[in-house]
Amino acid sequence: MAAEVIKLYQDENVEPLQNMTRYAAIDYNLLASALADEMERRQKAEQAQKKAARAEASVKRRTTVGANGTVDPIRNKEDILKIAQYFYDKGQLRNALMFLIGCSIGLRCGDLCKAKIGDIAEDGKCRLKEEKTGKYRTVVLNNFAMQCYRELVASIPNHTNETPLFISQKGENQSIERGSFGRILRNAGKDLNLPYKLGTHSMRKTFGYHLFMDNQQSPEILAYVQEILNHTSGRTTLRYIGLDEEKKNKLYENLDYGFTLDDIKGKDITENEEK
């Protein structure tokens, strides 16, 4: 930078120092410009470092058991019942009903956590602003989900429409945090020894999985589930609800050329090995 802001002058009217034929002076306009360029360069470098750190953290989250990208849907409906009963047996009404509502409407856990009592109308319609997209979305609670909703509201004293539906233990007017409920689900899965990697997205994935499986006879079901989950493609939806991997595994298992190794050998391999 010094080379950019220092100018050497030759001036016959100015007496130079002894043994010097010229003197140096600072061009302050160039100095200001150079400083501005340097600040911009440092800001860009800092932003690049932050972006790299966020990308690294994102990869870590996706590859950590229980993170959104690695959690499973709960494929067996009996296991959904087990988890709900687990919470009820522990006297954790909020956890049980939040889990059941989450599996019934397919909202992202972050949006579900922020729901207020007044967000759900008597006809079961729930209008929320999505945290991820910033857009308002309307979902419908079925009869079972509304039953859960009414029981939960009845358990909250002195509530108003602005009262959080899923209250944190930290305070009456605070909603439960997404990460906290993720840990609650993971602990339930471990205690029950269930064969799933559970996390905050497990409820939404469970909703999508059973919505698809229960309506496979409809040729339009994949398109509907894709739209409900706001995915860009059917392939994304199948992968998200765990069917993509499941179907691929079945393809491997069902591959059959119509003959066995015994047919090739023309004899009983087992008997031959015993001899």
Please state, in angstroms and rounded to a whole number, the distance separating the CA atoms of residues 171 and 193: 31
Residue 273 pLDDT class (50, 70, 90 cuts): low
pLDDT bracket for residue 19 (50, 70, 90) = low
pLDDT at 24 over 60: no
Res. 10 pLDDT band, cuts 50 70 90: very low
Least confident of 21-35, 67-81, 217-231: 21-35
pLDDT at 258 over 90: no
Q: What secondary structure letter does DSSP report for 17?
A: P
Kindly list the distances between the CA atom of residue 224 and the CA atoms of 36, 216, 242, in Å, as whole numbers in the listed order: 53, 11, 17
Q: Which of 186, 54, 169, 182 is nearest to 110 (CA)?
A: 182
Q: Does the structure show a pLDDT above 80 at 186?
A: yes
Provide the pLDDT confidence category of residue 93 given band limits of 50, 70 and 90. Answer: very high
Q: What are phi and psi of 128, to 5 degrees?
A: -135, 155
Quick check: 66 pLDDT over 70? no
Residue 146 CB burial class (10 angstroms; 0-12, 13-18, ≥19)? middle
Q: Is 153 exposed, middle or buried (0-12, 13-18, 19+ CB in 10 A)?
A: middle
Q: What's the burial of 13, exposed, middle or buried (CB within 10 Å: 0-12/13-18/19+)?
A: exposed
Compute the average pLDDT of residues 83-103. 96
Confidence of residue 253 (pLDDT cuts 50, 70, 90): confident
Q: Is the pLDDT of residue 152 over 70?
A: yes
So what's the pLDDT on residue 61?
55
Q: Residue ranges per domain, the chain? A: 1-39, 69-203
Buried b / exposed e across 163-172, counting CB within 10 Å, b at 16+? bbbbbbeeee
**CA distances from residue 77 to 23, 100, 175, 210 in whole angstroms, order as listed:** 87, 11, 28, 9
Q: Which residue has the higher pLDDT, 206 or 247?
A: 206
The answer on pLDDT for 143 being more than 50 is yes
Percent of the chain with pLDDT over 70: 82
Q: What is the token pair recorded at 244?
A: 């993509």
pLDDT band at 6 (very low <50, low <70, confident <90, very high): very low
The two structure tokens encoding residue 105? 């409407």
Contacts (Cβ under 8 Å, ≥6 apart) of 38: 1
Span 245-270, average pLDDT: 76
Q: What's domain 69-203's superfamily in CATH?
A: Intergrase catalytic core (1.10.443.10)
Rounded to an integer, the average pLDDT of 79-85 is 97
Please name every residue paired with 125 in a beta bridge, in sequence order, or none if there are none: 140
